[in-house]
Structure 1
Amino acid sequence: MKKWTRRAFIGAGVLASGAVIIGIAIRPGNRTSKVSGLVAEEGETLMNIWLKISPDNTVTAIIPHAEMGQGVHTTLAMMLADEMDADWSKVKFMEAPADKEYANYILAKGFIAGDANSPKFLEETIDGVFLTAVKSMNFQITGGSASVRFTGQQGMRIAGAAAKAMLLQAASETWKVPVEELKAQNSTISHAASNRTATFAELAPAAAKVKAPKHPRLKTQDEFTIMGTSKPRWDIPAKVTGAAKFGLDVMVPGMKYATIKSAPVFGAKVKSVDTSIPSNSSGVLKILNLENAVAVIAEGFWQAKTTLDTLPIEFESTENDGKSQEDIFNEYRQAMDKDLAEGNLDKHFKSGDAMAELSKAETLIEAEYQLPFLAHFTMEPMNCTAWVHDGQCEIWCGSQNPLGVKAAAAEVLDIKPDQVTVHNQLLGGGFGRRSETDVIKQAVLIAKEVDYPVKLIWSREEDTQHDVYREAMVSRMKAGLDQSGNPIAYSHQFIFKHHPAEAADVPYAIPNQLIQYSSPASHVPWGNWRSVDHSVHGFLTESFIDELAFAANQDPFTYRKTLSKNNPRFQKVLDLAYEKSNWGSALPPNWGRGIAIAQSFGSIVAEVAEVEVTMEGKVKVHRVVCVADAGFAVHPDGFIAQMESGIIYGLAAAMTGEITIKNGAVAQSNFHDYPVTRMNEAPKIETHIINSGNPPGGAGEPSTPVIAPAVTNAIFNATGIRIRQLPIAKTDLRVSIRQTT
C-alpha cells in the first residue's frame, strides 16, 4: 500500500504481525513503567522499552524476536548499538517477554504500509491504532523476513538514536554546555572544551527523565561503525559447545514425558480407546483421550511412545477417508474449470485485454504446472513443556509467536493471559511451523490433568503427518508472442492465493495481463511455509518465462534482461549473476545452466544453477551462484548464511519434497520417504551481495523461491526435458527419452 487509506487502518485489525514501536516516543510514566518490572532489575535504567543501561555501563538490547538460526538477536542489537554509539563490547541482549506491550505493531505497519510515511500530525494516532490491533490479536511474530527491514529499521535504530539524544541532553543540562558541543562514542558522552567525560550509566538516571524525541536523527550509511560489519553472532558459541537450550532440551524438576497420536485423517475424532494402563507397560502414568488424539504420559518418551503404538485406538470415519492425491488434484482442476466457465475466478491483476491479444499473437505458448503439498520438516520435532499449578500455567517451548502461545494456553485453561508465563527457547528450525499453537494447546490439555510438569514430544511420524502444509498447486499459463518473440499478452490461472499479496505479480514488461485464481475446498490444513506464496510463484513465473525465451529463440538471460529494462535493480542483479556465473561459458557433457530471479520481502535475488544429469537420469546440482540486492546487508556474513539456508531448504523441496494423500491421510512419515538435502548432496554456493542503498530487505526467505526454477531450467538446458511438475524426482530424465533441442 503506497498511501495511507481507510483500508490500511481496517487492515491493521486483521493482519498477523509481530513486537515494536515506531517513533519510540516513550515518556516516563508511559509504556516504560508498564514493562519495567518485566525487563529491568534493580539499579538498571530503562531508557525505552527496547533498551536498558546497567550500572556497569552495559547496554542491553531488548529484542522482540525469536532466534531460530537467523542471527536476529545479534543483528538487531547491532542496529540499536550503532545508532546509540555504544561500545559493542559492552552490549548484551535479552529476548522480550511474552507481554502485550511487546506486541509488534511495526511489523503490521510495515506489511501494510511498507516504507510509506504517514503525516506527522497523524503518526501517533496511526501508531496507536496498529498497536491496539496487534495487542488484541496477540501477535509477537518472527517471520516474513521482517525483523531487520521493519523492526530493525523502524524500531531498534530509532530506539538507539532516541536514547543517545536523551543522554546527550542530560549531559548538556548537567554540565550547562550546548548539546552541539557534546560527542557520544563508545558508551560515553564527552565535552572536549572542558575535558569532561561521563559514561552512559552515569548519565542514564537523568537521561530517563528527558522527553524522548519523536524523530531522532538517524545515521547515514557512511556513518555506520557497527552496521555493515559481521560481528560474531551471540548464538553460535553455545551451539558449538552444546550449551544452547532448545525447547527439546528443557528439563523441569519432576517433569514427565508425553507423546501423542492424532486421527490420521484431518478433522476426524477418536471413536474409542481404552484409557486404562496396560499391565505390561512399565513407567506409564496416564492415558488421555483428547477427542481428536490420544496421549500417553510416562516416565520417559520411549515408554510413552511404545505404549501408544500398541493401543487399540479406533477413529471415526469421515467423508475424506477414501480421498487420494489424484482425487484432490482432480477436484482442484474441476473447481478451476467451473469458476472459469461461470466467470467466478477472483482477479489478482488485470491490465489491457489479455484474452483479445492472445488471439492475435504470432506464437501462443501454453503450459500447466503442478506442485505438491510440502511439510516443514524442522530438524527439532515439535515439542512443548507445560506445568499447570496454583492457578498458573508455565510454558517452555520454542515459538515464533510467544504472545500467541500465552493466549492459546489461557484459552485452553479458561484463565487470564497474565496467569500464563512463557519461557521461550531457541528454535531448531521454524520456517513458519512454529508460529502455530497446536502442540501448545495439546501440551496444556495434557498438563492440566496431572499435578506435575509434562514435556510433550511429537514423534517424527506425527510431525510429518500432522503438519500444516504448503498448499498443492495447479497453474495454467498462457502467453502470446509477437514476431520478435516479445510477450504481448499473459494469462495465469492458479489456485489458492495466500500472501504476500504481490507474490503472483509478473516482474516483466508485458502490456496485457490477466491473473486470476480459484479457492477450492481442501481438507488438508494450510500453513505458512518458508517464503509462502513466493515459493510457489517464483517457480511458476521463472519456469514459464524460460519457456517463452526458448519459444522466442533467445538466450534466457538476455530475454530477462530485455523484459526488465525499466527496473534498474533487476538489471544490476542480472548483470552480476551473468558475470559471476560465467554465463555462456562451456560446460561438460550432460551439464546445464539455468537462471531465475525474483523480488520478495524487499530483496531481489537471482540464482544460476549448474547441474549434471547422468545417463541414468540422476540429477546433481554442482554449483549455485546467488546474487542478492539486499538494499543494505546489516550483517553480511549472516545475510550470506541465510541465502545459503534458503537455497538448501528450497533445493530439498524441489528435488524430492512431496507430501501425498492416501485414504485421506498423509502417506509419508519420516526421512526415508520425505528426504531432505544432505551434506554430500549440497552444491557449492557462491553468494554476492549488492548494497544498492535501498532500505534493507529480508534475508530468511528471498533465496528460496528461485532455486527450483534455476535448477529445472538448468535441467532443460542439459536434456531438453521441461519439468512442469515437482518434485524433480518424479520426472524420468534418462538419456533414452531426451529430446534434441
Structure 2
Amino acid sequence: MGKWTRRAFITTGVLAGGALAVGVAIRPGHRAPKVAGQVTEDGEVLVNMWVKIDPRNKVTLVAAHSEMGQGAQNALTQMLADELDASWEDTSFLEAPAIDEYANWALGKGFLLGDADIPKALVPTVDGAMLQIMKAMKMQITGGSASIRATGVYGVRVAGAAAREMLINAASEAWGVPAVQLDARDTHIIDTNSGKRAPFAEFALAASQKPPSPTPTLKTPEQFRIMGKSAPRRDIPAKVDGTAIFGIDAQVEGMKHAAIMAAPVFGAQLVSVDSTQAESMAGVSHVVPLDDAVAIVADGYWQASQALKTVKVEWSATDNDAASSESLFNGFEQSLADGIDGGSSKSDVDDGDIEGALALAAATLDATYRVPYLAHACMEPMNATARVTDESCDVWIGTQNPLGFRYDVAAAMDMDVENVQIHQHPMGGGFGRRSISDSAVQAAKIAREVGGPVKLIWSREEDVRHDHYRPAVASRFRAAVDQNGQIAAWENVYHEKHEPVEAPTIPYAVAAQKIHHVDSPTHVPFGPWRSVDHSQHGFFTEAFFDEVAVAAGKDPYEYRMSLLTDKPRHQKVLRTVAEAAGWGEQLPRGRGRGISLQESFGSLVAQVVDVSVTEGKVSVDRVVVAVDAGFAVSPDGLTAQMESGVIYGLTAALYGEINIEDGAVKQSNFHDYPMVRMNESPLIETHIINSGEAWGGAGEPGTPGIAPALVNAVFDATGLRVRELPLSKQDFSDFS
C-alpha cells in the first residue's frame, strides 16, 4: 500500500506550472503539487483536488468518474456547484487523469464505511487510509452505482463546501471584514452589510494558500438550490451534433487498423496460422499472432476484417471442447443437490428451524429457477487505439477504470507505469464490460509489433463471443406456508456467489430462513454486468415470492406489505407503485399485472408490469416504477436511469441468452442475440420518493426488478409459471 505516516493533516499552497494548487484534505502528505500541471492551464487555480477556478470565474469539477451515458459527471457537477454556491452557468466538469493521485478514495469510503459516524478528528486519517487502499487496488472505477452515493457524498460535496469556506476566508482577509459577514452566491462573494460583490476568481489564489477543512459544514436539503433540480446535461449537445469523440472515433496520425479473432473456446491457445491469402490482399501490412488470438493489420478496418476471414487457424485442444449449456446446467444442479443433501454449501443466512417449519407446514413449495449467460452488448463494440515506442505506450480508449487500465497495460508491456498514458474518451455503453482491459492490452501488443499506431476494433461477432459474461445460474427454493397462510420457512441454495454479498437476501419478515450457496466454476469468463448478482437474484427471489403468495391464497402486493410492517420505507415504495399502476383493477382476459420490490445499491425500487398475451406472444405494455434513492440529485437523470435499467433488464428477460456449444459461444450478432427495439418498448412511468434517507444509486437499481415483475404478470395473464429466462424460449401458444 506504499509508505504511510502518522503526520497530522495540513495542506499548504504551492505555485507549480503556472497554476496554484492546494491539496484536498486527505492524509497522508500534500498531494496537489503532483497533479497541478496535469489538470490546470495558465491562470487556473486548483483550489483543491476536485475544484479549479479560471480567470473568467469559471469553475470546473475534476471528476474521477467516466461517462458512459449515465450522466454521473453532470450530477456530480450539480453537487459541487450547490455546495460551492456557484451558478450552474459557470460550472463544468473535466475527467480526472489516470494517475495514482486520482484513485477514488471517496468510492472506497462509501463502500467500506457508508454512513458510519466518524469523529471529526479521525476523518483525515480515514480518508488517507481510503486513498492508500484505492491506490493499491488501482481503483478509479465507475460502477456499482457509486458515483453519487460515494464520490458525490463523501468527496465532491465536501470539496465544494471546503472551497466555499476557503474563498470566504480569503475575502474576509482581503476586505478586512469578519467572515460571518460574508456569503457566497452565484460564483461571487458578497458582503451582506455593504452589498460589495466580487467573483470567486478574485480570491482563488489566496484561498488556495490556506489549509482546507476536512469537515466543512454541508448544506441541508432545504438549502439546496441546484441539487434536486434537473440541470441541463453538459454532455448531450456534442452527442446530438456528432462532435463527441468516443473511443472508436479516436484518430492518431499515421495509424493503421486491426481486426482480431480469438480462440473460440475460452482457454485455447494459438497453435498455427496460415495467412498466405490475407497477406496478398490489398492494404494488408501485418499478421500479428497473440497467445490466444490472431490480428490482421491493414490500411482500413474493412480491409483488415475481410482479410481476417481468409486466415486458417489451428487452436489447441482444451478440456472444455465438449462443454455445452446443457452440461453446465447439469453440473450446476448437481452442485445444488449436493449443497442441500450433502451439506457442502456455505451460509449467507441461517435463522430459525427450517426443517421443523417444513415438517409442520400446511403447504410446501419446491422450485428451481435458471438464468443463462448474458453478454453486455454495448452499442460501441470493444476497441482501443495504441501507439508504442521503445520507451512509452499511449492508449486511446473509453474505459470504466482508466487507472486500472494504465497498470494493466504497463504490466502486459513490461513497462513502468509512468511511461503509459491513457487518453480517456466517453463510452457508447459500459454496463461493467469496460472495466476489463482485454482490448487495451491487445491493441498495445499489436501496435508494438507494427511499430506504429494501430486502432483495434472488435467485430460485433467478436464482441458477443468473447465477452466477460454475466454468469448462468441455477437457484433452488423451498418454502413453507402455515395454516394461517403465513410464510413459515424460506430456503434458497444457489451456485456461484459474487457481489454484492446481500443480493440473495430478502426484506420480508420470515422467521426461519436459510440462504446458502455452493461453488460450481466453469471455463466461461465472468464479468460484472449491470446490477451484478442482483440481476439474477432479483428474478429468483421476487418471482418465487409470488409463488408463495399464490400458495397462501394472498394477493402478491398485499402479502408483501404484510411482511414489511417493520420497514415503512419499503412499504411506501410499494404503495406508491401499486397506487400509480392501478393495482387491484380487474383486467380483461389475456392481460396481466405483476409486481416486484428490490433493494440494491442503496436504493429501493418497486415495479409493476402490465402485459398482454395474444396468439402466444407476450407484449409488455406498461412499466410503472417507484424509486426511493434517498434524494434525487437530478430528477431527470434518475428517471432516465430507471428507464434505461428497465429496458436493459427487459431485453435480458425477453431475449437474452448466450448458449455454449462445443465449448464456445453460439451467438454472434443481433440476429441471434436481439435487443428490445423501439417499437417494442413499453410506456415507462417513474415516481420519485425523496425519503431523506442515505443517498443511493441510480444506474443499476432499475434493472433487477423488471424480470420478476414481468413473469409475475405473465402468470397473472395465463396461469403459466415461468422459472427460466429468457421468456422467448417459453411456449404460450396453448394459451387463448
TM range (shorter): over 0.9
8 Å contact 1:263–1:269 — kept in the other structure?
yes
Q: Tell me, which stretches of 5 or more residues in structure 1 are unaligned? A: 1-22
Q: One-letter code of the match for 1:734?
A: S
Matches within 5 A, 1:100-111: 100-111=100-111
- The equivalent residue for 2:619 is 620
- The equivalent residue for 2:658 is 659
- Cα deviations by residue, 1:48-73 (Å, 9 ceiling, x for unpaired): 00010101111111111001111112
Q: Distance in 1 between matches of 2:159 and 2:684?
A: 36
The structural deviation recorded for 1:353 is: 1.7
Q: Distance in 2 between matches of 1:446 and 1:378?
A: 23
Matches within 5 A, 1:68-83: 68-83=68-83
Deviates more, 1:111-120 or 1:88-97: 111-120
- Cα deviations by residue, 1:456-488 (Å, 9 ceiling, x for unpaired): 000000000000011111111011111111111
Matches within 5 A, 1:36-51: 36-51=36-51
Q: Distance in 2 between matches of 1:625 and 1:192?
A: 48
8 Å contact 1:104–1:131 — kept in the other structure?
yes
The structural deviation recorded for 1:123 is: 2.7
TM-score by length of 1: 0.95
- The equivalent residue for 2:19 is none
- The equivalent residue for 1:395 is 395
Q: Distance in 2 between matches of 1:160 and 1:128?
A: 19
Q: One-letter code of the match for 2:727?
A: I
CA gap of 1:713–1:550, structure 2 versus 1, over 3 A, is same
SS in 1 for 2:592: strand
Q: One-letter code of the match for 1:730?
A: K
CA gap of 1:405–1:260, structure 2 versus 1, over 3 A, is same
- The equivalent residue for 1:10 is none
State, as a whole percentage, how many aligned pairs show the same letter. 52
8 Å contact 1:592–1:715 — kept in the other structure?
yes
Q: One-letter code of the match for 1:132?
A: Q
- Cα deviations by residue, 1:394-430 (Å, 9 ceiling, x for unpaired): 1100000000111111111111111111111010000
Q: Distance in 2 between matches of 1:438 and 1:264?
A: 16
- The equivalent residue for 1:724 is 723
- The equivalent residue for 2:647 is 648
- The equivalent residue for 1:177 is 177
Q: Distance in 2 between matches of 1:608 and 1:339?
A: 34
The structural deviation recorded for 1:528 is: 0.2
TM-score by length of 2: 0.95
CA gap of 1:575–1:341, structure 2 versus 1, over 3 A, is closer
Q: One-letter code of the match for 1:189?
A: I
- The equivalent residue for 1:198 is 198
- The equivalent residue for 2:469 is 469
Q: One-letter code of the match for 2:402?
A: P
8 Å contact 1:24–1:155 — kept in the other structure?
no
8 Å contact 2:609–2:624 — kept in the other structure?
yes
- The equivalent residue for 2:12 is none
Deviates more, 1:550-559 or 1:110-119: 110-119
- Cα deviations by residue, 1:330-370 (Å, 9 ceiling, x for unpaired): 11122222343332200011111212222121211111111
8 Å contact 2:70–2:641 — kept in the other structure?
yes
- The equivalent residue for 2:543 is 543
SS in 1 for 2:177: coil
SS in 2 for 1:448: helix
Q: One-letter code of the match for 2:682?
A: P
Q: Distance in 1 between matches of 2:112 and 2:57?
A: 38
8 Å contact 1:277–1:287 — kept in the other structure?
no
Matches within 5 A, 1:160-559: 160-275=160-275, 278=278, 280-389=280-389, 391-559=391-559
- Cα deviations by residue, 1:583-617 (Å, 9 ceiling, x for unpaired): 11132320000000111001100110000011x31
The structural deviation recorded for 1:450 is: 1.8
Deviates more, 1:206-215 or 1:112-121: 112-121
Q: Distance in 1 between matches of 2:593 and 2:352?
A: 35
SS in 2 for 1:378: coil
The structural deviation recorded for 1:279 is: 5.4
Q: Distance in 1 between matches of 2:232 and 2:413?
A: 42
- The equivalent residue for 1:130 is 130
Q: Distance in 1 between matches of 2:451 and 2:293?
A: 21
- Cα deviations by residue, 1:273-328 (Å, 9 ceiling, x for unpaired): 13556454110010011021001100111111111111110111111101111100
- Cα deviations by residue, 1:13-68 (Å, 9 ceiling, x for unpaired): xxxxxxxxxx9416998111111011011211111000101011111111110011
Q: One-letter code of the match for 1:134?
A: M
8 Å contact 1:28–1:209 — kept in the other structure?
no
Q: Distance in 1 between matches of 2:271 and 2:450?
A: 24
- The equivalent residue for 1:6 is none
Q: Distance in 2 between matches of 1:593 and 1:518?
A: 34
Q: Tell me, which stretches of 5 or more residues in structure 2 are unaligned? A: 1-22
8 Å contact 1:26–1:212 — kept in the other structure?
no
8 Å contact 1:355–1:491 — kept in the other structure?
no
8 Å contact 1:26–1:48 — kept in the other structure?
no
8 Å contact 1:277–1:285 — kept in the other structure?
no
8 Å contact 2:189–2:197 — kept in the other structure?
yes
8 Å contact 1:593–1:717 — kept in the other structure?
yes
Q: One-letter code of the match for 2:655?
A: T
Q: Distance in 1 between matches of 2:527 and 2:261?
A: 20
Q: Distance in 2 between matches of 1:430 and 1:356?
A: 47
Number of residue equivalences: 714
8 Å contact 1:605–1:702 — kept in the other structure?
yes
Q: Distance in 2 between matches of 1:725 and 1:92?
A: 46
- The equivalent residue for 2:64 is 64
Q: Distance in 1 between matches of 2:71 and 2:206?
A: 33
8 Å contact 1:24–1:158 — kept in the other structure?
no
Q: One-letter code of the match for 1:559?
A: Y
Q: Distance in 2 between matches of 1:340 and 1:281?
A: 60
CA gap of 1:617–1:219, structure 2 versus 1, over 3 A, is same
Q: Distance in 2 between matches of 1:680 and 1:556?
A: 30
Q: One-letter code of the match for 2:445?
A: L
Q: One-letter code of the match for 2:363?
A: T
The structural deviation recorded for 1:106 is: 1.5
CA gap of 1:28–1:431, structure 2 versus 1, over 3 A, is closer
Q: Distance in 1 between matches of 2:336 and 2:502?
A: 21
8 Å contact 1:296–1:307 — kept in the other structure?
yes
8 Å contact 2:26–2:128 — kept in the other structure?
no
Q: Distance in 2 between matches of 1:166 and 1:471?
A: 49
CA gap of 1:593–1:27, structure 2 versus 1, over 3 A, is closer
Q: Distance in 1 between matches of 2:357 and 2:121?
A: 48
SS in 1 for 2:449: coil
Q: One-letter code of the match for 1:90?
A: D
Q: One-letter code of the match for 2:465?
A: Q
The structural deviation recorded for 1:390 is: 5.1
- The equivalent residue for 2:18 is none
